[in-house]
Copies of this chain bind each other. A is one copy, B any other.
Amino acid sequence: MGWDKVMPSRPVVAVAGATGAVGVEMLKVLEQRDFPADRVIALASARSAGKRVPFRGGELVVEEMTPASFSGVDIALFSAGAGVSKAFRDAVTGAGAVMIDNSSAFRQEADVPLVVPEVNAEAARRHNGVIANPNCSTIILLMAIKPLLQFGPIRRIVVSTYQAASGAGARAMQELLDQTREALLGSPLTQQVFPHPIAFNLFCHNSRVEADGYNEEERKMLYESRKILHDDGLRVTATCVRVPVLRSHSESINVEFENERPRLEEVIKAYRESPGLLLVDDREANHFPMPIEANGRDEVLVGRIREDVSNERALDLFASGDQILKGAALNGYQIAQEWIRLTEGSAAASTSS
């Protein structure tokens, strides 16, 4: 199987969920990076149709998304929830567009590649019209451990997250701001999005807890990591926590190698040289990755790299990454780029043969 569409040099791009936190950022990413789109179409639910969103000095009028919206579209960037992605999958692929989906709808399907371009770009080559964007916490985790993979197999990861409100969407970010204002005034807190107050508080991730006690977010970190790294034996235990931070997730990561751990100097060198990462590891100044410095940045910040005193095969590290950018919109954009590059490659190959 495989998808034989050859991408035009100036594709038509649809952004589905254009008024959400990720959709808005996706339009910015397309604009700032000067993606060679022939046309960009902003799609959303009927409720948002008619709204105007700024784009390339002008405006896009948001259109109501219907199955007919995808006629003539080459790339559809979806970030409107798993239900919407499922409902529109056939319309998108039927119209000949490639769907790059930010939801969890298809991530575990065998013929849907799950891609973090810095980690497994080649997986984007073979698909049946859908490429999935991994969960944001998974992307940040895999970016943070990517440089370690060259030193030998990883046996086990223990990770605790510090997740921003943005992971639950634009309304959740607003809820954090509103509740914080209310808390400072001593007023009762307005709760609409999260199951617990978020102002000056934290709580275990607001996804369903399964029979084994792990919540869905934690299971994603395990199963998506296994799929992306092609390692069904990878062991991950995650504890996912929502904190009163706006848009960057942080993660405290303990990585145990199957064999001997690499020397710290080698590890630091690998981090310095890794694309998409920024080493922030100044012990003297007590300066390590922080959400406010990750906000708005493409790179995932990694630091506090140290030899675990409790296990001679393990390392500890700490990472912060912009959940809306690398955790969602930017990674989706990079998948689109990667797929175009791969398609051009194969088009070139077939031309030359």
**A316 near B184: Cβ-Cβ < 8 Å:** no
Copies held by the complex: 2
Please tell me which stretch of A84-92, A269-277, A288-296 contacts chain B, meaning at least 4 of its Cβ atoms lie within 8 angstroms of it: A288-296
Q: Which single member of B204, B250, B309 contacts A237 (CB below 8 Å)?
A: B309
- Chain B residue, CB-CB nearest to A206: B286
Tell whether A311 is near chain B: CB-to-CB under 8 Å.
yes
**A241 near B162: Cβ-Cβ < 8 Å:** yes
A185-218 vs B, CB cutoff 8 Å, 1 = contact: the mask equals 0000000000111001111101011001111000
**B318 near A239: Cβ-Cβ < 8 Å:** yes
**Bound CA–CA A309/B235 (angstroms):** 7
Q: Which single member of B215, B245, B306, B310 contacts A200 (CB below 8 Å)?
A: B245
A165-198 vs B, CB cutoff 8 Å, 1 = contact: the mask equals 0000000000011001100100000000001110
Tell whether A222 is near chain B: CB-to-CB under 8 Å.
yes
**Bound CA–CA A343/B304 (angstroms):** 46
Instruction: Tell me whether chain A's interface is mostly helix, strand or loop, or mixed.
Output: mixed
**A318 near B204: Cβ-Cβ < 8 Å:** yes
| Given known A-B contacts A156-B310, A158-B158, A202 and B250 have beta carbons under 8 A apart | yes
**Bound CA–CA A257/B216 (angstroms):** 26
Nearest Cβ in chain B — how far from A322, in angstroms?
A: 13
**A290 near B237: Cβ-Cβ < 8 Å:** no
Nearest Cβ in chain B — how far from A329, in angstroms?
A: 20
Q: Which single member of B176, B237, B244, B307 contacts A213 (CB below 8 Å)?
A: B307
**B213 near A306: Cβ-Cβ < 8 Å:** yes
**A254 near B241: Cβ-Cβ < 8 Å:** no
Q: A180-B184, A195-B286 given; name 13 further pairs at CB < 8 Å.
A: A156-B310, A158-B158, A162-B243, A176-B200, A177-B184, A180-B180, A201-B245, A202-B245, A209-B284, A212-B309, A214-B309, A235-B311, A237-B254
29 pairs of residues in contact across A and B, judged by CB atoms under 8 Å = A156-B310, A156-B311, A158-B158, A180-B180, A184-B184, A195-B286, A196-B290, A196-B292, A200-B245, A200-B246, A201-B245, A201-B291, A201-B292, A203-B290, A204-B288, A204-B318, A206-B286, A209-B283, A212-B307, A212-B309, A213-B305, A235-B310, A236-B309, A236-B310, A239-B318, A241-B318, A243-B244, A244-B244, A252-B252
